[in-house]
Amino acid sequence: MACGKLLPALYLRDFFGQLASTTRIIGVATAKHDSLSYRNLTREAIKAKVKLKDLKEDILAKFLQRLFYVRVGNEEIGFASLKELLDERPDYLRMFYLAIPPTSFADLCHKISTYELATSTSRIILEKPIGLDRESAKHINAIVESAFSEDRIYRVDHYLCKETVQNLVVLRFANVLFEPVWNSRYIDHVQITVAEKIGILGRKNYYDLVGALRDMVQNHILQLLCLVAMEPPCTLTSDRIRDEKLAVLRSLKPILPKEVCTFTVRGQYDRGVCRCEPVLSYREEVGNSDSQTETFVALKVEVNNCRWAGVPFYLRTGKRMPSTSSDIVVTFKEPPKHIFNNQQNIIDKPNRLVIKLRPDDGAKLLLTTKNPESSKGDFQFVSFGASLSANYNAEALGAYEKLIAYLISGNQTFFMRHDEIESAWRWIDTIIEGWKVTPSSLRFYRSGTWGPMEAVDFIKKDGRMWYEEPFYTDNANEDQS
């Protein structure tokens, strides 16, 4: 029913006058609700999520009257009732938002087709993950495409709706100082980190099935990599941007099963301390003392094309980390230092562009400058940057609110195409196969740390270190994506 995020976001769209007066929202699930109890549940969700200044009783009351509920526990009664409700307004645009397990996509799409719920203009929205491997993703895509044309299918990756992520395209291609140096001649390596303080938050059945590689890398992190690495699109239309992302996915060097111990590190959190409180191990949380599910992944990835030849991309994600943070760090090669040989203090730190997705959103350049307080001309490392949230209306930057606006307008730019999904899975599947034949590669790390020590050694052997900042705070938004 998606009360947690989607309905509060819909309320905010209504609050800002962006929903048509005739809009109806119909919740469909197996839970024992009726429209009245569904509205009460939604009221509580909105009051828990929406800022007090945006809570207006008259607008909330009007919004709740848009809501209806249909229980589909008995498919003959449930879907027939849904069809009857939809047929009251046959000419209206229908958007089917499937916030359900991927194993249920095909069955529900079949029912939408069987009961003739969709019109020729209807749209369908699929929450990630799309499948659990390439074969299941292909199957889901085939079933969905039998009921909806590709231009009416919206595969959601919430990271693509984040303002800072969308600004990657503008940052790269609208600023002349970046594109000329955005290549292997000037860039040493790229790091992408998505870290979470939280554990699995009651999602044990789902998470123990998928793990961090499927849950975060296959979609969120690979999409970030694509935006960093892609070539300039000939236009900013949705298909041209997605063509360039697809080219990156097809250029990823496969990590063969025999190479997983060299190019990957996978870990699982053990007992530890988070927010000054002791926490259980992952195996204790899921009630499976033999679970091989990874909650941490580090990867060394190569993009096999002319632009990125020899530039490693280090990807890292994990739960029960010291902070909640998502960063893209582009590290530039160091210039020759021979003209500064006589300086007493040469800071041996490279220039970096740090793109922050959360808890702050913005970008900064880390540069070497002269220390004005030193009479010897010593160097210092300084930061020049800007925060999006400090310069723009924060309410306008919410990923779900932007998602809804794109769905209504029909803009597919920041949704995934079927060939992107399948290409990403093709690359991920090889790693999963390697892990299956090397189960001993699972490492354990203490909750509240940055993962297994092997992840530090993994990048250190290349003469590099993970980039970490101390400024992340406990009040960061830790909602699951």
Give the model confidence (pLDDT) of 232-283 as tens digits. 999 989 999 999 999 999 999 999 999 999 999 999 999 999 888 999 999 9
Q: 93-138, pLDDT tens digit by residue?
A: 999 999 887 778 888 888 898 899 999 999 999 988 898 999 999 9
Asked if residue 380 is part of any domain, the answer here is yes
**Residue 480 belongs to a domain:** no
What percentage of the chain exceeds 90 in pLDDT? 63
Q: Looking at the domain assignment, is residue 469 inside a domain?
A: no
Q: Which of 158, 220, 338, 418 is catalytic?
A: 220
Do residues 327 and 467 lie in contact, with contact meaning Cβ atoms separated by under 8 Å? yes
Same domain for 165 and 100, yes or no, is no
Q: What total of structural domains would you count in the chain?
A: 2
Q: Is the pLDDT of residue 177 over 70?
A: yes
Please check whether residues 177 and 308 belong to one and the same domain: yes
pLDDT at res. 477: 46
Query: Can 220 be counted among the known catalytic residues?
Result: yes
Q: For residue 359, say if its preceding peptide bond is cis, omega within 30 degrees of 0.
A: yes
Distance CA 327, CA 347 (A): 23
Q: Single out the residue in 156, 179, 211 at which a domain terminates.
A: 156
Domain boundary pick from 133, 156, 179: 156
Residues 112 and 177 in one domain: no
| Cβ neighbour number for residue 59 with a 10 Å cutoff | 16
Kindly indicate the confidence band of residue 167, based on its pLDDT and cuts at 50, 70 and 90: confident
Say how far apart CA 292 and CA 294 lie, in whole Å. 6
What is the overall mean pLDDT for the chain? 88
Q: Looking at residue 202, what is its pLDDT?
A: 79
> Is 468 part of a structural domain of the chain?
no
Q: Does residue 410 belong to any structural domain of this protein? A: no
Query: Are 49 and 134 part of one and the same domain?
Result: yes
481 belongs to a structural domain: no
Confidence band, pLDDT 50/70/90 cuts, at residue 34: very high
Selection from 318, 288, 322, 323 nearest residue 200 by Cα: 318
Residue 204's domain spans which residues? 160-394+416-460
Peptide bond into 129 cis (omega under 30): yes
Q: Are residues 40 and 167 in the same domain?
A: no
Q: Assess whether 151 and 164 both reside in one domain.
A: no
Banded pLDDT at 345 (limits 50, 70, 90): low
Strand 95-98 vs strand 67-71: parallel, antiparallel, or unpaired? unpaired
Could you tell me whether strands 67-71 and 25-29 are parallel, antiparallel, or unpaired per DSSP bridges?
parallel
Residues 53 and 177 in one domain: no
Domain presence at residue 209 = yes
Of residues 99, 76, 116, the one with CA closest to residue 1: 99
pLDDT-derived band at 338, boundaries 50, 70, 90: low
Q: How many CB atoms lie within 10 A of CB 69?
A: 21
Residue that terminates a domain, selected from 102, 125, 156 = 156
Residue 295, helix vs strand vs coil: coil
Q: What is the pTM of this model?
A: 0.90
133 and 224 within one domain: no
Cα 74 to Cα 111: distance, rounded to the nearest angstrom: 13
Are 144 and 171 within one domain?
Answer: no
Residue 362 backbone dihedrals phi, psi, to 5 degrees = 165, -160
Q: What is the CATH number of the domain that holds 451?
A: 3.30.360.10
Q: Which residues contact 193 (CB under 8 A, 6 or more apart)?
A: 315, 316, 317, 325, 326, 327, 329, 466, 467
pLDDT for 473: 38
Same domain for 177 and 129, yes or no, is no
Whether residue 172 is found in the same domain as residue 318: yes
Q: Is residue 363 part of a domain?
A: yes
Torsion of CA 455, 456, 459, 463, to 10 degrees: -170
Amino acid at the residue 65: Q
CATH of the domain at 122: 3.40.50.720
| Domain shared by 142 and 174, yes or no | no
Do residues 298 and 216 make contact, with C-beta atoms less than 8 angstroms apart? no
Write b or e for each residue in 244-281: b if 16 or more Cβ atoms lie within 10 A of its Cβ, otherwise e.
bbbbbbebbeebebeebeebbbbbbbbbbebeeeebeb
pLDDT band at 380 (very low <50, low <70, confident <90, very high): confident
